[in-house]
Amino acid sequence: MKNLLQTPSTSWAQSVRIALEAEGIPAVILDEYSRHGLGVATWVRVAVVNDGDHARAEAIVARLAPPRAGPPPPSWRWQKPGCILLVIDVVLVGVWGALLDEYGLGTLTYAVAAVVAVVFIGGLLFIMLGPRADKGTS
């Protein structure tokens, strides 16, 4: 018996075992139920039963692995600033709430509320307009 791979994902280990057995290579999962650490992830191992099948099993696992990620799509150049603006907006809403508690309705709280609204709308516009950049790239 020879170890083929270790992974924290039990479902990936099961998938690899099923793919190997579909190709006629007997495989077992080791340490599947040894998660004693109360939420601490442990590694699950997949092993081939016959040592002679190890090289063929490695080739099958390499075929199953997802392709390497390429560069992000053009829409991400628009959507990333939109996401950042929405995170900033969450902070601004907190600031606005604190100012509202401290000073009540007044010029300052109205101004901050306007900034919150503009940042929110700007973030949404960036996110919604992002997919337009992907047109013609597929």
Residue 93 domain-assigned (yes or no): yes
User: At 67, is the secondary structure helix, strand, or coil?
Assistant: coil
Asked if residues 26 and 57 have their Cβ atoms less than 8 Å apart, the reply is no
Residues 58 and 99 in one domain: no
User: Is residue 44 included in any domain, yes or no?
Assistant: yes
Residue-level pLDDT at 97 = 93
List strands edge to edge, sheet with 27-30.
Answer: 2-7, 44-48, 27-30
The size of the chain, in residues, is 138
Q: What is the pLDDT of residue 41?
A: 63
Question: What band does 137 get if pLDDT is binned at 50, 70 and 90?
Answer: low
Does 82 share its domain with 108?
yes
User: What pTM was computed for the model?
Assistant: 0.53
> Structural domain tally of the chain?
2
Which pLDDT band holds residue 24 (cuts at 50, 70, 90)?
Answer: very high
The residue that leads in pLDDT, 41 or 18, is: 18
- For residue 128, give its domain range: 76-134
pLDDT tens-place string over residues 64-108 = 877 778 888 889 999 999 999 999 999 999 999 999 998 899 999
More reliable by pLDDT, 36 or 50: 50
Q: Which of 64, 87, 114 is the last residue of a domain?
A: 64
Residue 69 lies in a domain: no
